[in-house]
């Protein structure tokens, strides 16, 4: 065979295959980046809410750990231990914060934040204003419940017997 013909065939094959290889590598990189981004978003959500009252974002983030960190057994083990410590009947219930710090520390290590210490993870800033607002909301809620629980309507209160019956009905709803 002529060397020019061989070179032409090699060039045609190279021009045909190189874009496929670049496309395949690009898809693999995008999948890997998407997984890393999901891990980071999850970790940041947990870090941002680590000392706040448990909220929906915190719970949702915890419930996605097994999916997002499916390839990291250390993080999943730390999550199981933290999960177990959340049960009031657990012997580790009083150490829940330690297990939370272990979990966040494992996640930080998995994401490359190797110099992030548990003491730094445990540090959390929350202005007094936030606790004042939360306390005000708690007072308003409890007062609203008290007033509504003692009222038939906006203008008429319960008798003592009606109130006791009403409270029993309310308690049944929450059981």
Domain count, the chain: 2
Q: Sorting pLDDT into bands at 50, 70 and 90, what band is 79?
A: very high
Same domain? For 133 and 118 the reply is: no
Q: Sorting pLDDT into bands at 50, 70 and 90, what band is 152?
A: low
Share of the chain above pLDDT 70, in %: 93
Q: Sorting pLDDT into bands at 50, 70 and 90, what band is 25?
A: confident
Same domain? For 92 and 154 the reply is: no
Pick the range with the lowest mean pLDDT from 95-99, 117-121, 149-153: 149-153
Averaged pLDDT, 107-120 = 92
> Does the structure show a pLDDT above 70 at 154?
no
Say how far apart CA 20 and CA 39 lie, in whole Å. Answer: 29
Supply the range of the domain harboring residue 29.
3-126
> Does the structure show a pLDDT above 80 at 129?
no
Same domain? For 14 and 99 the reply is: yes
């Amino acid at each position: 065979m002529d060397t020019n013909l061989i070179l032409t065939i090699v060039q045609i094959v190279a021009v045909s295959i190189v874009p496929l290889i670049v496309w395949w590598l690009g898809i693999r990189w995008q999948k890997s980046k998407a997984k890393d981004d999901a891990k980071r978003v999850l970790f940041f959500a947990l870090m941002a809410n680590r000392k706040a009252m448990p909220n929906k974002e915190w719970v949702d983030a915890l419930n996605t750990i097994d999916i997002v960190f499916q390839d990291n057994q250390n993080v999943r083990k730390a999550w199981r231990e933290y999960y177990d410590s959340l049960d009031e009947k657990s012997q580790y219930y009083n150490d829940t914060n330690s297990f939370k710090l272990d979990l966040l520390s494992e996640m930080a290590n998995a994401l490359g934040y190797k110099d992030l210490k548990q003491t730094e993870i445990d540090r959390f800033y929350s202005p007094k204003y936030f606790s004042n607002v939360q306390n005000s909301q708690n007072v308003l809620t409890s007062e609203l419940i008290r007033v509504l629980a003692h009222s038939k309507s906006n203008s008429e209160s319960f008798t003592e017997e009606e109130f006791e019956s009403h409270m029993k009905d309310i308690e049944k709803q929450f059981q």
